[in-house]
Amino acid sequence: MTNTVWRQGELIEVAITDLSDTGDGVGRCDQRVVFVADTVPGDRVMIRLVSVKPKYAHGKLQQIIQPSPHRIRPGCIVADKCGGCQWQHIDYDYQLVAKRNQVIQALERIGGFVQPPVDPVLAAASAFGYRNKATYPLSKSATGQVQAGYYQKSSHQLINLNQCPVQDLRLNPLLAEVKQDIQQRGWQIYNEQRHQGQIRHLSLRIGRRTGEMLLTLVVKDWNLAGIENQAQAWLKRYSQLVGVSLNRNPERTNAIFGADTRCVAGVPYLREKFAGLEFQVRPDTFFQIYTETAEELLQIIQSQLNLLGHEVLVDAYCGIGTLTLPLAKQVRQVTGLEVQPKAVEQAIVNAQINGINNVTFQVGAVEKLLPKMGTLPEVVLIDPPRKGCDRAVIDTLLRSKPSQIVYVSCKVATLARDLKLLCQEGQYTLTRVQPADFFPQTAHVETAAFLVLPHLG
C-alpha cells in the first residue's frame, strides 16, 4: 500500500527507469508509476506533480539532478517546447533500444507472448532530415504575424518554425517564405474557436528520390482571392515545385484534410521512385513518411516471404499500391483492398505506369471485402490504420487460414491485441517481428510481424 499522500503541485525526486509508448519517461516512487516528459532512463530528476491518481501520477520536469548517459543536447532550438518530436534529447542508439523494448513489452503484456521473437530495430540511415511530408497548422501571433509550426506539448499554443530538422531540408525555404506570402496577400488565418477565417494548414511534400515538391493550402472554402497568381509565382520561384493545390475542409474538426482537393497550378501529383518503381503521389495520399526505411522494410518482407512466383497474394489496406506493386512483380496474382476510392484510382494509375498487369484493386472496407472473397490465397498482407483490424478481418483470416500472414502496424498496442487473437489456441505461429524506425526523434515505431500456420513453422 502507498503510505505517502501526494498532492498536486508537490515537488518529488524520482529515478527514471523506462520510456512509455507515448514517449514520456517512466519512474516508480512510493509504489506509484510516475510519467515525466523530456526525461531519459538513467535520469534522476526533481519533478512537480501535475496530476495525481491512486496508482500513477504525471509530473513536470523541474531539475535534472543526475543526467542519464543516454541524454544529449537536442539539435533543435525549440525541441523542449515543440510537440513535433519527443526524443531529441535521447541519443539515437538508445532510441532504437527503447523502441524494441516498447514492442517486446506490448507483445508480452497485451499479446501474452513469452519471449516474442523481436529483432533489433531497423535503423534509419539518417535520424534527421527524413520526413517527405510535413503539414503545419497556421495561426496569428499577438502582433498579427502569420505563424506556422507545431503545437507546444500538451497545449494548443503554436510554436512558430522557419525550419524543421526532421523534415527533408529542401522544404525549409518554402516553410519560411510561404508564410510571408500569405501575410502579404492578407489571407485570413482560420480560427477554430470561432470557425472563422480561411487558411487552416500548410502542407509540403517532396519526392525523396526525384526532388519534386507539392505545396497545398488547407482552406475552409475555395474562395481564396488571388491564389492562381500566387501559385504561379511559387512555381516560378521554386524550380522543384511541380504543383500547388487547395484542399477544402469546411468542418469543425481536428482532421487536417477534407475530402476535396483541387490543383490550382502545375500538376496534382509528384513522381517518386520506390522499390525500383515509379509512383504518382498526390497531396492527400497516404505514403510512408520515411521513403528509404520503408523500402528496406519491404525488402525484409520480400525475403521473409520467400516468394517463388506462383503465389496469389491479397494486400489489405493497400493504399496507392506502395507495397502491392513491388510484391506483384514476385507473384502470380495480387488483389489490393482499400476503402478510399481516390487511393485505388492512384493505385490503378501506378500499376499502369509500371506495366504491372497481374494486380486488381477493389474499393471498400476490408472488413466487408475480405469475408466475401471466400477462400483466401496463401499469402495475406495487412497494413491497417492505428486502430488495428476489425474483428471481422481477424475472423476471416482464422477461418480461411492463409499459409502466411504479414501484419504491418504503426501502433504496437493494437498489433499485440490482434496477434493474440490470431495466435490463440495455436492457430498461427508468430515466427518473426521486425520493428523499423520510420519516425526518428519520436516514440513511434513501425512493425512487421510474420505468422505461419503451425505445420509450416
Q: For the segment 2-43, what is each residue's pLDDT rounded down to a tens digit?
A: 457 888 999 999 999 999 988 999 999 888 899 999 999 999
Q: Are 121 and 96 in contact (CB under 8 A)?
A: yes
Average pLDDT value for the chain:
94
Q: What is the pLDDT of residue 456?
A: 54
Question: Residue range 433-451: average pLDDT?
Answer: 97
Q: Are 15 and 41 in contact (CB under 8 A)?
A: no
- Which one of the listed residues 164, 318, 389, 410 is annotated catalytic? 410
The percentage of residues in the chain with a pLDDT greater than 90, rounded to a whole number, is: 87
- 286-300 burial by CB neighbour count: b if 16+ within 10 A, else e? bbbbbbbbbbbbbeb
> Identical fold at 1-71 and 94-125+289-456?
no
Residues contacting residue 453 through CB under 8 Å, at least 6 positions apart? 401, 403, 427, 428, 429
Each residue of 91-108: pLDDT tens digit?
999 999 999 999 999 999
Main-chain phi, psi angles of 101, to 5 degrees: -60, -40
Q: Where do the structural domains in the chain lie, given as residue ranges?
A: 1-71, 94-125+289-456, 133-274
Q: How are beta strands 404-409 and 379-382 bridged, if at all?
A: parallel
CATH 2.40.50.110 fits 133-274, yes or no: no
Each residue of 168-225: pLDDT tens digit?
999 999 999 999 999 999 999 998 888 899 999 999 999 999 999 999 999 999 999 9
- To the query of whether residue 410 is one of the catalytic residues in this protein, the response is yes
Q: What is the pLDDT of residue 3?
A: 55
The percentage of residues in the chain with a pLDDT greater than 70, rounded to a whole number, is: 99
Q: Which residue has the higher pLDDT, 111 or 32?
A: 111
Q: What is the pLDDT of residue 1?
A: 43
Q: Are 181 and 167 in contact (CB under 8 A)?
A: no
- 301-310 burial by CB neighbour count: b if 16+ within 10 A, else e? bbeebebeee
Q: What is the pLDDT of residue 153?
A: 75
Main-chain phi, psi angles of 376, to 5 degrees: -80, 155
Top CATH class of 1-71 equals mainly beta
Report the CATH number of the 94-125+289-456 domain.
3.40.50.150
For residue 43, give the amino acid letter. Answer: D
CA distance 23 to 84: 12
Question: Residue range 161-172: average pLDDT?
Answer: 95
Closest CA to 84 of 139, 144, 18, 23: 23
Q: What is the pLDDT of residue 168?
A: 97
Q: Can you count the helices (H) and strands (E) in the chain?
A: 9, 21
Question: Residue range 120-136: average pLDDT?
Answer: 97
Alpha-carbon dihedral angle through residues 9, 10, 12, 16, given to the nearest 10 degrees = -30
Q: Are 431 and 118 in contact (CB under 8 A)?
A: no
Q: Are 448 and 408 in contact (CB under 8 A)?
A: yes
Question: Residue range 369-396: average pLDDT?
Answer: 92
Residue 351, all three cell numbers: 500499376
Question: Residue range 59-79: average pLDDT?
Answer: 94
